[in-house]
Amino acid sequence: MRNGDGESAGLMLCMSTPTTPPNQKPYDIHERLLLFASDVVRASQFLHDKGGIGRALSYQLLSAGTSAGANAAEGDSATSHDDFIAKTRIALREAKETRFRLRVCQRVGLLDGTFDTLVDESDQLVRILGKIVHTASKNRDARRQRKSERASG
């Protein structure tokens, strides 16, 4: 696809420089996961000063919360559609683990109300990553079905 100047415009859907409108979340999932990981680091620092249990949970939260974005980024470098789905599923699992640990910390009083938005963001990211995996799997299956129909028909 070419724009009016004859330049290729086909892959311009991905934002190279994420822009976040004021008081809104970025549209780029990778930027959103980066912001989430940064907030998880801050929550982990907060937990680290809450005694032995808080410290232990801070390490687990830090690991899972930063891994979600790293695995999603790996998915973009996947060697196949199946590899993309597998890596995005790992990101989804890590996001779910992060959400669970945040909720535990919140429930036992290790995290105060200032972290409510982080817990909410973890839930939103789980839903988004789940939808990405679902859609990618559905598209892969449809592609395989069409290929099978062409081969047999």
- The residues that bridge with 8 in the sheet, in sequence order, are 2
CA atoms of 72 and 53, how far apart (whole Å): 29
CATH number (domain holding residue 35): 1.20.1440.60
What is the per-residue pLDDT for 113? 94
CA angle 11, 15, 16 (to 5 degrees): 95
Banded pLDDT at 62 (limits 50, 70, 90): very high
More confident residue, 148 or 33: 33
Q: Which of 11-25, 38-52, 100-114 has the lowest mean pLDDT?
A: 11-25
Residue 137 lies in a domain: yes
What is the per-residue pLDDT for 17? 34
* Span 19-48, pLDDT tens digits: 444 456 668 999 999 999 999 999 999 999
Residue 10 lies in a domain: no
Structural domains counted in the chain: 1
Residue 124 lies in a domain: yes
End-to-end CA distance of the chain: 32
Supply the range of the domain harboring residue 135: 29-152
pTM over cut 0.75: yes
Nearest of 29, 25, 24 to residue 13 by alpha carbon: 29
Residue 123 lies in a domain: yes
φ, ψ for residue 80, nearest 5 deg: -155, 170
**What are the tokens at 105?**
């910390």
Q: Is the pLDDT of residue 6 over 60?
A: no
Residue 91 lies in a domain: yes
Residue 66 lies in a domain: yes
Residue 147 lies in a domain: yes
Q: Which of 14-18, 87-91, 99-103 has the lowest mean pLDDT?
A: 14-18
Residue 15 lies in a domain: no
